[in-house]
């Protein structure tokens, strides 16, 4: 146990961090390792790889993810902003590089140098948007809201060109909710909803794979046969097969024919082997993290920390909700991972960065630090004549 009298950096971190939030994130990480062991061996066997190939790879990515999370959690807010700005610039550069030179997979160019840059763009975008909105709220001489408005198309247009509509939708949702929290007038909100609806209609009309996914969701099996909805149908059968208490760890059968049982549909594997009650517990754990962070946001006196906390929490919660909704056939397939549970290196590293930022901006800060930030960000007074 770290003593309160100790003056080291580690001791200061321990007594200012939200330990409930940290414990909940740790629990999700441990669950992820258990569930990847359940869902990935059949996929590895089909690809003629060692049974625990994806488990070992997940651990390899998890180590730097945790290191980044803990390292970033030590940063004060002003360094969080600087880190996010650097990450945003690098990520945008990689997104454009992927558009020009990236490897094409299923008609999309999202990968470059073995990473998916859009994953790293998400936490950086949220922090920068929170920074712009908070500066606009604190200083009349800074057009913070307009900077945040311009930041959205700058970020999502390259993603649409890839195309990556799942990440685009997620970023737009988080951005809209952050603006709503900032007191956006309802007329602007109606305009944003209209713009989003128009974008969906245009994507449906002009992007074939978006139209196909929507049609498969609305009219399953009517647009090309049973294969159109094979994954979703198998996922639903997995939940039904598992019942309330599941078949037991390693006893699932349908995961052997579910193509993405280790990534997008790992929640369905969980339903078959551990049951619906266990799945509800996972939902409750995600909800605890989001609600705990939003509660910390509401109590935070610093505008930047307040918006950044809410934005990262919403990013985390919406991503989890979209993944689980797809597994339950409540929305069209999006290719969204379940945070810390689905297999994926870029996703894990991005989540480590996101949670590191979240822990950093939810730490208790002395009043002197708040006053220092206000003095640093205050406008310079004009000299008296």
DSSP string, 295-330: HHHHH-SSHHHHHHHHHHHHHHHHHHHHHHHHHTTS
Q: For the chain, give the percent of residues with pLDDT over 90.
A: 42
pLDDT of 214 above 80: no
Count the Cβ atoms, other than its own, within 10 Å of residue 249: 12
Cβ distance 283 to 15 under 8 Å? no
Cβ distance 171 to 156 under 8 Å? yes
List, for residues 362-377, the tens digit of each pLDDT value: 998 766 555 555 555 5
If you average pLDDT over residues 152-179, what whole number do you get? 87
pLDDT of 277 above 80: yes
Q: What is the pLDDT of residue 267?
A: 92
If you average pLDDT over residues 243-256, what whole number do you get? 85
Q: Round the average pLDDT of the chain to a whole number and report it.
A: 84
Angle at 35 between CA 30 and CA 40, to 5 degrees: 130
Dump the DSSP string for 136-170.
Answer: HHH-TTS-HHHHHHHHHHHHHHHHHHTT-HHHHHH
List, for residues 3-56, the tens digit of each pLDDT value: 566 677 888 888 899 999 999 999 999 999 999 998 888 888 888 889 889 999
Token digits for 351? 């989540």
Q: Which residue has the higher pLDDT, 191 or 151?
A: 151
112 CB-near residues (< 8 Å, 6+ apart): 94, 97, 98, 101, 102, 103
If you average pLDDT over residues 329-341, what whole number do you get? 84
Query: What value does the CA radius of gyration of the chain take, rounded to a whole number of Å?
Result: 22
pLDDT of 381 above 50: no
Q: Look at residue 206 and give its three-state secondary structure.
A: helix
Instruction: Kindly provide the b/e burial profile for residues 6-24, where b requires at least 16 CB atoms within 10 angstroms of the residue's own CB.
Output: eeeeeebbbeebbeebbeb
First to last CA, the chain: 59
Strand ranges in the chain using DSSP code E only, listed in sequence order:
103-105, 108-111
Calpha distance 117→132 (Å, rounded): 22
Query: Could you tell me the pLDDT band of residue 225, with boundaries at 50, 70 and 90?
Result: very low
If you average pLDDT over residues 184-210, what whole number do you get? 69
Burial class (CB in 10 A: 0-12, 13-18, 19+), 126: buried
Backbone dihedral angles phi then psi of residue 70, each to the nearest 5 degrees: -70, -40
Q: What is the pLDDT of residue 246?
A: 87
If you average pLDDT over residues 172-183, what whole number do you get? 86
Q: Which residue has the higher pLDDT, 95 or 190?
A: 95
Q: Which residue has the higher pLDDT, 255 or 297?
A: 297
Calpha distance 284→187 (Å, rounded): 34
200 CB-near residues (< 8 Å, 6+ apart): none
Q: What is the pLDDT of residue 73?
A: 95
């Amino acid at each position: 146990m770290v003593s309160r009298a100790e003056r080291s950096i580690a001791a200061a971190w321990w007594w200012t961090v939200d330990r409930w939030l940290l414990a909940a994130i740790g629990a999700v990480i441990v669950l992820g390792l258990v569930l990847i062991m359940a869902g990935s061996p059949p996929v590895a066997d089909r690809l003629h790889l060692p049974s625990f190939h994806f488990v070992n790879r997940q651990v390899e990515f998890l180590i730097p993810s945790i290191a980044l999370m803990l390292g970033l959690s030590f940063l004060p807010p002003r360094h969080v902003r600087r880190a996010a700005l650097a990450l945003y610039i690098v990520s945008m550069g990689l997104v454009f590089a992927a558009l020009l030179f990236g490897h094409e997979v299923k008609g999309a160019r999202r990968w470059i140098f073995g990473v998916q840059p859009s994953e790293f763009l998400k936490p950086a975008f949220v922090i920068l948007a929170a920074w712009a909105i908070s500066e606009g709220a604190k200083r009349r001489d800074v057009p913070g809201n307009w900077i945040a408005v311009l930041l959205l198309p700058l970020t999502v247009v390259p993603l649409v060109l890839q195309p990556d509509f799942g990440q685009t939708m997620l970023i737009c949702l988080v951005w809209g909710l952050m603006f709503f929290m900032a007191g956006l007038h309802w007329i602007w909100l109606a305009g944003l909803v209209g713009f989003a609806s128009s974008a969906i209609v245009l994507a449906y009309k002009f992007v074939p794979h978006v139209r196909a996914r929507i049609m498969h969701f609305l009219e399953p099996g009517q647009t090309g046969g049973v294969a159109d909805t094979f994954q979703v149908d198998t996922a639903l059968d997995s939940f039904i097969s598992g019942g309330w208490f599941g078949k037991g760890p390693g006893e699932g059968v349908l995961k052997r024919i579910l193509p993405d049982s280790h990534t997008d549909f790992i929640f369905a594997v969980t339903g078959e082997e551990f049951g619906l009650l266990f799945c509800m517990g996972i939902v409750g754990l995600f909800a605890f993290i989001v609600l705990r962070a939003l509660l910390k946001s509401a109590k935070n006196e610093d505008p930047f920390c307040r918006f950044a906390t809410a934005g990262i929490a919403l990013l985390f919660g919406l991503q989890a909700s979209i993944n689980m909704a797809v597994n339950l056939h409540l929305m069209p397939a999006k290719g969204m991972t379940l945070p810390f549970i689905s297999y994926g290196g870029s996703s894990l590293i991005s989540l480590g960065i996101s949670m590191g930022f979240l822990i950093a901006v939810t730490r208790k800060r002395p009043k002197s630090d708040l006053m220092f930030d206000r003095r640093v960000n205050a406008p310079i007074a004009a000299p008296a004549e």
